[in-house]
């Protein structure tokens, strides 16, 4: 029986699943080390050994990519995508699910959270790209600098949130887009949730050099 993983082990397993499902083969030790910013492969080997001991993977030491998922049928569950959210100009939101995705079971889904698909490139400098799935938590109060999903006149956008005195600014992470300024005269404005996670498949991703992934 599998045992609970630590936070670091969960992130490494999530990366393994993403790579194996997206590229069709597992990453090397060097690629894992580069992705998480480890200076040597010994640290990676220690984490993989712990993950293997807990029953989630099987390693073949004779192969450079010798990592196999052992509980593959339990790693993914279908979850509904409730609509598209604009990383750019606002998009109309949908009342029903527009799609389902196979989301890893280890992906943390806070209570009442929901999934939206990003459309547009206004958050590209935050490494959120068109086609990505964002996990949105509706139970949090927004703080300056957080990425939020907001409704503007019955359309949805995803932007960074900043409150300045009596105004709110929704900022893009792309210099081609101007800030959206919300004041008391702006009708039908509402924050519907905070982005707490991003999920993507490798097929949908633009090329990004392997690096340590920052927090959203």
Instruction: Determine which one of 113, 119, 159, 172 is catalytic.
Output: 159
Task: Judge whether 122 counts as a catalytic residue.
Answer: yes
Q: E strands, 63-188, where?
A: 67-69, 76-86, 91-92, 99-104, 114-119, 133-137, 147-152, 155-164, 167-171, 180-182
Instruction: Determine which one of 113, 122, 130, 172 is catalytic.
Output: 122
Number of residues written out for the chain: 216
211, 34 in Cβ contact below 8 A? Answer: yes
Select from 157, 145, 166 the least CA-distant residue to 189: 157
- Phi and psi, residue 189, nearest 5°: -105, 135
C-alpha span between 197 and 208 (Å, rounded): 18
DSSP assignment of 33-86: HHHHT-SSHHHHHHHHHHHHHTTSEEE-TTSTT-EEESSGGGTEEEEEEEEEEE
Instruction: Tell me which residues are annotated as active site.
Output: 122, 159
């Amino acid at each position: 029986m599998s045992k609970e993983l630590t936070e670091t082990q969960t992130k490494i397993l999530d990366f393994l699943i993403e790579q194996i499902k997206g590229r069709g083969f597992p990453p090397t030790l060097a690629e894992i080390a580069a992705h998480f910013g480890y200076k040597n492969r010994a640290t990676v080997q220690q984490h993989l050994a712990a993950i293997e001991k807990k029953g989630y993977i099987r390693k073949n030491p004779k192969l450079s990519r010798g990592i196999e998922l052992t509980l593959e049928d339990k790693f993914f569950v279908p979850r509904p995508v409730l609509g598209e959210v604009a990383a750019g100009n606002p998009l109309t939101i949908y009342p029903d699910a527009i799609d389902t995705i196979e989301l890893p079971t280890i992906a943390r889904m806070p209570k009442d959270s929901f999934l939206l698909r990003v459309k547009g490139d206004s958050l590209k400098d935050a490494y959120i790209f068109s086609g990505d799935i964002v996990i949105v938590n509706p139970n949090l109060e927004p703080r300056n600098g957080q990425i939020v999903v907001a409704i503007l006149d019955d359309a949805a956008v995803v932007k960074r949130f900043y409150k300045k005195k009596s105004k709110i600014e929704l900022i893009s992470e792309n210099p081609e887009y101007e800030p959206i300024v919300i004041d008391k005269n702006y009708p039908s404005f509402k924050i519907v949730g905070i982005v707490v996670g991003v999920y993507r498949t490798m097929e949908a991703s633009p090329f990004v050099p392997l690096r340590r992934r920052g927090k959203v």
